[in-house]
Structure 1
Amino acid sequence: MDNLEEGYRVPVKFRDGEDYHLAEIISKKVVNGETKYYIHYEAFNKRLDEWVEESRMKLDEIQGPKKIDTKTPVKGQGHPFSRPCSPAGDVLQCSTPTPSQMKRGPPTKKKKLEEKLVHKALAVNVSHIDVTPIPSPNIPVSDSQDVEDSLPSAPRQTGSMSAHHDTDVVTRMKNVELIEIGKYRIRPWYFSPYPQELTELPVLYLCEYCLKYLKSRTCLKHHLSKCLLLHPPGNEIYRQGNISFFEIDGRKHKSYAQNLCLLAKLFLDHKTLYYDTDPFLFYVMCEFDSRGHHILGYFSKEKESSEDYNVACILTLPQIQRKGYGKLLIEFSYELSKVEGKTGSPEKPLSDLGLLSYRSYWSQTILEIIMGLKPNEPGERPAITINEISEVTSIKREDVISTLQHLNLISYFKGQYVLTLSKETRDSHAKSMSRRKIRIDSKALHWQPKDWSKRGKW
């Protein structure tokens, strides 16, 4: 249809459903005489963006481009929870709420709608992830020549990540159709700056040990016959059961760090890549068996952070999400902060999935502390301060306060701040903790923090 141009909006039917949702046209192309449109579903995360045909559109309900209001000031990202804070040193008394104290206003209609859209987007997204086990490569190499030599190198703008606001049409569009890593094929969610020659292929192949990218299964098999790694480079600093963590220095292992960031960018939209990995440490979580260590996820952190960030980027790969590994990564980052004797917080802004994971971890950890409190004297109510919670958990004070407010646990009563734990909150916490099967054992961590301010150029 000639009048369907970039910026126009039209209702589009979801790939695995019957519902239509308003979508913005980002780009279009002609394939075998048929026009396809790259669309973004409004009110949904970009991971659901896709190429569609006109047959899935309601062409009689086309809308023009959105009008941009230049007079309204743009609000900053700020903290993920923007409620007012109470004084950090106030003593919080824990009590069982009375019926009058438990009367709180219901969530607003706007809040309910936002949560419904988020959960609906996540539910739809799960059905769109293509995570299919595949057999190990078993294709003979027909030529003894090094098939990797002809591969293009990655662009120089690769490496660690920082927050960004995406305005480039090219980076708004997914450029990799499928990746194959280990025994899985995964459909990426976002753009990542792999070499263009490889993004035009139906599948991008990755070595699951060194994360090198290759153009075919034959190249992958040839590479695996020479790859000396069976685990990430760097030092193994934690092992418990079949889970290991490796610490990788972005300066010493630059190639691996850059490949890791390229992989992560396929599933992280709120960050952009830049070249220098030297100022970062990468902590890679692996599951090991007789074949080697298989990457599950990672987080990175600055060697020196002026704002006490203990995580710069964090990711669990899609094939192992919703199994508790995200919280394990977060718990490990705070375990490192405890060894350092610091409080920490993740770099903002967080992705939607990252925010959900951190909010859940903070809630469980803080409730675990509060519910384990004992009164100092018989007949007294147990008491604790915000600072004490922060010191015990290494969670930054601002995150402790915002979590208590998010859970509606903190209230002002008779001149002091009081924590009220309802039976519903206790039961919900017990249920969520029963599902948390894997935890970090501090005794299995063998790591000493370095003072990077005294190490010159790291």
Structure 2
Amino acid sequence: MPTRDTSAEVGTPDVQTGEKSIATIATLRVGVKLYVYHDNSREHRLAEILSIQTRKGTPHYYVHYEEFNKRLDEWVPPTRLDLTKETVGDVGTPEDEEADEDSAETDPKATAARAASAKQSGTSGTPETFSKEHEIEKLRTSGSMTQSAHEISRVRNLSKLQIGKYEVEPWYFSPYPVEYTEEEMVFICEFCLSYFGEERRFQRHRTKCTLMHPPGNEIYRDSAVSFFEIDGRRQRTWCRNLCLLSKCFLDHKTLYYDVDPFLFYIMTTRDEYGCHMIGYFSKEKESAEGYNVACILTLPQYQRHGYGKLLIAFSYELSKREGKLGSPEKPLSDLGLLGYRAYWQDTIVDLLLNNKGLETTIDELASMSAMTTQDVIHTLQNLNMLRYFKGQHVICLTDAILSQKQKQVEKQKIKGKRTLDPELIQWKPPVFTAANRTWNW
């Protein structure tokens, strides 16, 4: 079969969006869909190019795999692209590519100067309708979730992080300084959360860093974990570094540096080298909506070990000490929603089983668990435990729920279950003045 000459087709400028064509490295554009080798599934998957970047003279493509979660988006080299199959979308001409490269070759100092100029003029690359001041004002009234869709749409900019003895791949964009985006690895001190682009500088820092635990008050300790409470106003730099790190794994987190209105609760594990952060949650010092959690994260290297439920349980124990009903800030991430649903189900089913056949109400369940009545009702409805009987609604423990609980108990006998001892919490609800809750330069 004769070889097909595609050079004429590739160089045609008239290709319409949505049409199929054969592309080359020189003609690939943002928006083109093509097949890319996916490491986990070990096969080529259809993906869309979201961004193109030249690293050390080689183009890299940020792709989103069709029907895959956004956290699996990644930078890929040209070797993982399948250019033997037709692509979907606009492909350019080699001449266009050369023009783009000429315009893209900029001096890093000039780029930094433009970034500084943009910062001084109040434009940070976001749409004009979402100014920094506007975002911070919304942050003060509605918590820590991002208000700008532009924040969510940006592509992941870091390749790998080294946190302690773990190498972790970020999931989402995080606004670390632009010079770090070209590094293969960003080194993060697991104690002070400072970040470095060179291993030599990182090792030099480690010889000087004296911090061995989060810079706050230890309010809980058992044989497995400790919790530290940190005031964002007193430890601004540490909390800002924490926000930068957590943005790598939270798609909807706001990263402006207004950490003053928040308290951070850090869960750690201990060894002879210090207290190593497992995860954290933050909460507003004063939440108008009654939220007991603003952001919550278990670091990827510690996920699927039961630590997420421990973080959630601790947030509700604090709500009990405050004498309030609490709920996490909405919307939750997909993993956050799964974690909360599992915790809510376990808590409510345990309360009903321990009730020994006595009557109870939704308000009583909320009071005993520190959950809001809306979350209790939502959980009961999801589990199909609310029934209408003899003219009134009743709570019914179904056979399916009891069977699931029995399997869970048997599994926990083998693997064990992480629990908190409320008696070990050394904490009283803090009282803040207006000055304590906000910026105080």
Q: TM-score, normalized by length of structure 2?
A: 0.76
Alignment gaps of 5+ in structure 2: 1-22, 91-115, 125-131
Name 1:283's counterpart in structure 2: 265
Q: For each residue in 1:115-148, what CA deviation from the matched residue of structure 2 results, as whole angstroms up to 9, or x when unmatched?
A: xxxxxxxxxxxxxxxxxxxxxxxxxxxxxxxxxx
Q: Name which of 56, 67, 70 aligns with 1:43.
A: 67
For the 8 Å contact 2:159–2:184, the answer to whether it is kept is yes
CA distance in 2, matches of 1:57, 1:417: 59
Name 1:16's counterpart in structure 2: 40
CA distance in 2, matches of 1:453, 1:280: 13
CA distance in 1, matches of 2:237, 2:184: 24
Residues 1:366 and 1:29: Cα distance change in structure 2 (over 3 Å): same
Q: Which has the higher helix share?
A: 2
Name 2:364's counterpart in structure 1: 388
CA distance in 1, matches of 2:34, 2:42: 15
Q: What is the total number of aligned residue pairs between the two structures?
A: 363
Say whether residues 1:443 and 2:413 are aligned partners: no
Q: Name which of 181, 189, 193 aligns with 1:211.
A: 193
Q: Greater relative contact order (Cα 8 A, min sep 6): structure 1 or 2?
A: 1
Say whether residues 1:27 and 2:7 are aligned partners: no
CA distance in 1, matches of 2:366, 2:200: 52
Q: For each residue in 1:390-413, what CA deviation from the matched residue of structure 2 results, as whole angstroms up to 9, or x when unmatched?
A: 000001111111111111111212
Task: Give the alignment's Cα RMSD to 1 decimal.
Answer: 2.6
CA distance in 2, matches of 1:43, 1:299: 30
For the 8 Å contact 2:293–2:329, the answer to whether it is kept is yes
- Secondary structure in 1 aligned to 2:420? coil
Q: For each residue in 1:279-300, what CA deviation from the matched residue of structure 2 results, as whole angstroms up to 9, or x when unmatched?
A: 0000000101111111111000
Q: Name which of 401, 417, 441 aligns with 2:393.
A: 417
Q: For each residue in 1:319-363, what CA deviation from the matched residue of structure 2 results, as whole angstroms up to 9, or x when unmatched?
A: 110000000000000000000000111111111111111111111
1:37: how far off?
Answer: 2.5
CA distance in 1, matches of 2:37, 2:205: 42
CA distance in 1, matches of 2:416, 2:149: 35
For the 8 Å contact 1:304–1:453, the answer to whether it is kept is no
- In terms of mean alpha carbon deviation, does 223-232 or 9-18 score higher? 9-18
Q: 1:38-77 maps to which residues of 2 (within 5 A)?
A: 38-52=62-76, 53=78, 55-57=80-82, 60-64=85-89
Name 2:104's counterpart in structure 1: none
Say whether residues 1:202 and 2:226 are aligned partners: no
- Secondary structure in 1 aligned to 2:145? strand
Residues 1:5 and 1:282: Cα distance change in structure 2 (over 3 Å): same
For residue 432 of structure 1, what is the amino acid of its counterpart?
Q
For the 8 Å contact 1:26–1:40, the answer to whether it is kept is yes
1:199: how far off?
Answer: 2.3
For the 8 Å contact 1:248–1:283, the answer to whether it is kept is yes
Residues 1:272 and 1:370: Cα distance change in structure 2 (over 3 Å): same
CA distance in 2, matches of 1:221, 1:6: 38
% identical aligned pairs: 49
Q: For each residue in 1:214-273, what CA deviation from the matched residue of structure 2 results, as whole angstroms up to 9, or x when unmatched?
A: 232222222122222111111000001131000000000001000111110111112221
| Larger gyration radius, structure 1 or structure 2 | 2
Name 1:330's counterpart in structure 2: 312
For the 8 Å contact 2:36–2:80, the answer to whether it is kept is no
CA distance in 2, matches of 1:61, 1:259: 44
1:183: how far off?
Answer: 1.1
For the 8 Å contact 2:233–2:436, the answer to whether it is kept is no
Name 2:227's counterpart in structure 1: 245
Alignment gaps of 5+ in structure 1: 66-152, 376-381
- Secondary structure in 2 aligned to 1:273? coil
